Structure 1
């Protein structure tokens, strides 16, 4: 990730990619399984489908419970905003029209495997990060930078874990 000096209101993004020796069809089960994410994440502790949903479909919602040493514990509701099997899976945290963040997996077939990309966007809606920015507005760029680095670390960890899971099952 390269820092571009963006602030929270600019909806900064971060992404990473990994080549995985597995087809997009096989990887789809990992990227679209919301229950796998708490097993991979340091922050996300638990998820559950809402409104009777049992799987990924645009408009389906799920609740997530998270924790962070500096931000505390919180709960959010996410809405699936893109779900094209086996190509894309994305969800917006909070109001899908004005989200706190957006997360997306994109699967690109390559040779006998897949380039799996995970992407995340902060904002534009306020989130737990907003309180820190309001308390220290002169440090907004640093606060956003640190949070994006945390996202990047989590994304790289997710990709490595999915690579390990998929390639081990081969």
Structure 2
């Protein structure tokens, strides 16, 4: 979904997907700043909790101090329906200033994948954030097992939450980068 300056984001429509489908969601926004200006924001894991309604704390693990493929970080999150939890994420792609991605859980079989992609557009950047749910079990799996007849709705609601978070992240990064420019 692409949004030009001044346009509203479209809202995700019903997909009927189940967890095993590894559903994805993405949004993009034009930012009036070059990719090099945005890179510090999208690759800064410590900025994430300031932008997220769920993620409350992050810290690099194993002596890592910044984003590089293979570096891991701890995340602590909270959700009104899912409770509190911790995850370990691994940076799976880090190509400055083009892409930054991390896998939550086992990188070969993650609970979720998250990615920022930065593409130069004129004097600015087309910034995209993308997320995939699954394929590995997550806290959502417990809810699905408790109410298997509602799996499609549970997945849809969670993907809408991902979408809301992505839209919020894009707007915040846009504001920060354009203010700095």
Q: Does the TM-score normalized on the shorter chain lie above 0.5? A: yes
Does residue 77 (structure 1) correspond to residue 88 (structure 2)? The answer is: yes
Gaps of 5+ in 2: 1-11
Cα-to-partner distance string for 1:99-157 (whole Å, 9 max, x where unaligned): 00000000010010001000000000000000000000000000000000000000000
| Contact preservation (8 Å) 2:98, 2:119 | yes
- Tell me how large the CA RMSD over aligned residues is: 0.6
Aligned to 2:105: 94
Q: How does 1:4-19 map onto structure 2 within 5 Å?
A: 4-19=15-30
Distance 1:4 1:142 in 2: 9
Q: How does 1:138-157 map onto structure 2 within 5 Å?
A: 138-157=149-168
- After TM superposition, the score normalised by the length of structure 2 is 0.93
The structural deviation recorded for 1:3 is 3.2
Aligned to 1:128: 139
Q: How does 1:108-119 map onto structure 2 within 5 Å?
A: 108-119=119-130
Distance 1:71 1:34 in 2: 22
SS in 2 for 1:99: coil
Distance 2:14 2:109 in 1: 24
SS in 1 for 2:117: strand
The structural deviation recorded for 1:169 is 1.2
Cα-to-partner distance string for 1:17-59 (whole Å, 9 max, x where unaligned): 0100011011000000000000000000000000000000000
Does residue 52 (structure 1) correspond to residue 63 (structure 2)? The answer is: yes
Specify which structure has the higher proportion of strand. 1
| Contact preservation (8 Å) 2:15, 2:156 | no
Does residue 41 (structure 1) correspond to residue 55 (structure 2)? The answer is: no
Gaps of 5+ in 1: none
Distance 1:141 1:4 in 2: 8
Distance 1:79 1:2 in 2: 30
Summarize the Cα distance change of 1:2–1:108 in structure 2 as closer, same or farther, 3 Å threshold: farther
Aligned to 2:175: 164
The structural deviation recorded for 1:4 is 2.6
| Contact preservation (8 Å) 2:91, 2:102 | yes
